A and B are shown apart, each in its own frame.
Chain A
Amino acid sequence: MTWTCLNTEERLSEYLEGQLAPAERQELEAHLQACAACQALTAEVGGVVARLGRLEAEVEPSWLVYRILEATSGAVRQKKESPWPRLLPGLLSPRFALGLASVAATLFILFQALGVNPRHITANDLNPVNLYRAADRQAHLTYASGVRFVNDLRVVYEIRSRLQEASATPSVPQQEQERSRPAGTDSPQSERKLRNDLLLRHLSHSAVAVFAVLPAGGPR
């Protein structure tokens, strides 16, 4: 097969990149020696490839990156990085808001329990010794008022039951009546008494529980 100019043209890039098989390379080079036109073409194409390789990258405008960032993620960082732009999205997230709310609630409960008034907070308030004393005092006050309340309830209950006893059956004691009462012989009054009794007990239990958490009244 005779190597033609067309062959040279078709295989030129491969030749320049050293990808031709030895046999083909020989044929091409032999042709080049005999053909001025192909010689010139080879030189030109070789030159272009070299030129393109040396061409430096075009520099994009300095604002292009920022324009792209703005159009995409919408987050544009200033060159002098200030922490605020990065913090702001975080501040506005629901997670942060909830966290803030729970911290505030905790602080509120703490202040109440420790007897610290958040409006008139002083450095003295935050002294650990004072905090302990305040907590201690608060605990005792709470306990005391709880005990007082239960006692009050019990007094009320006792008075009531005595009154009911007096108006119902005078001689039979309360407990005997409850124990020996058969199913079918419930009198309306004893039933009411039982109900009230249970109600009062229930109330007193929940009242103590509630008052243990709330701030106690009385002298500070």
Chain B
Amino acid sequence: MELDSQLVVRCVRGEAPAWEELVRRHTRRVYNLAYRFTGNRQEAEDLSQEVFLRIYRTLPTYRAVHGEFTTWLTSVTRNLLIDHYRRTRRDRLTDSLDAENSPAERKAAPGRRPDETAAATELSGQVQRALQQVSPELREAVILRDLQGLDYREIQQVLQVPEGTVKSRINRGRIELARLLTQMGVGPA
């Protein structure tokens, strides 16, 4: 499989199939980051498009020596999410009510067995509702670490803060999330 950096080189040369491959590869990652942060599917869809638009326009500036393509992609996504958050500042309480959650709206993800779907959906919704109540700073740290699977160094690059701050935010975010879930009646796994 071709490396992301190789695809980028081909994209800059004007090869449309290379860009299509890049988009297909990373749409889900970007969408998930956006959805978990905003709690809103439509916003996640719109923001995903904005992310790729920005990437597309600044593609020639990417240099493999500066880091992984995914780190750059995540940085761009995160920055757009923060901008979006600041523009559409919401009350924390209404956030938890706005978050989409009804199983009827949500189609089963491919690959899930039918009996697992309902339970998984429910849990996903609960986690999402709890996430919305965590402050954005802590929320993004937890999402990047525990949902996107980035290591501390990458998170540092994305958030542009010292490693100590990264660890501290992840820790506080997890504790906050745990307390909220306990309050909601979701016991430890």
Which residues in A have some Cβ–Cβ distance to B below 8 Å? 9-14, 41, 43-61, 64-65, 67-69, 71-73, 75, 77
Number of B residues near A (Cβ < 8 Å) is 44
Task: Let me know if A56 and B120 touch, CB within 8 A.
Answer: yes
Task: Let me know if B52 and A48 touch, CB within 8 A.
Answer: no
Task: Let me know if B147 and A65 touch, CB within 8 A.
Answer: no
Known: A68-B23, A73-B20. Is A61-B123 also a contact (CB below 8 A)?
Answer: no
Q: Is B98 an interface residue (CB 8 A)?
A: no
Dominant secondary structure at the A interface = helix
Task: Let me know if A55 and B188 touch, CB within 8 A.
Answer: no
Dominant secondary structure at the B interface = helix
- With both chains docked as a complex, state the minimum distance between the C-beta of B129 and any C-beta of chain A, in angstroms: 13
Residue of B nearest to A54 (CB): B189
Q: Is B177 an interface residue (CB 8 A)?
A: yes
Residue of B nearest to A13 (CB): B171
* Cβ < 8 Å to A, chain B residues 121-166: 123-124, 127, 142, 146-147
Q: Is B53 an interface residue (CB 8 A)?
A: yes
A58 to B45, CA, bound (A): 12
Q: Which 6 A/B pairs are nearest by Cβ-Cβ distance?
A: A47-B188, A52-B146, A13-B171, A44-B178, A60-B31, A72-B56
- 16 A-B pairs with C-beta separation under 8 A: A12-B175, A45-B175, A47-B188, A47-B189, A48-B189, A51-B127, A52-B146, A53-B146, A57-B29, A58-B31, A59-B28, A60-B32, A64-B27, A68-B52, A72-B23, A73-B19
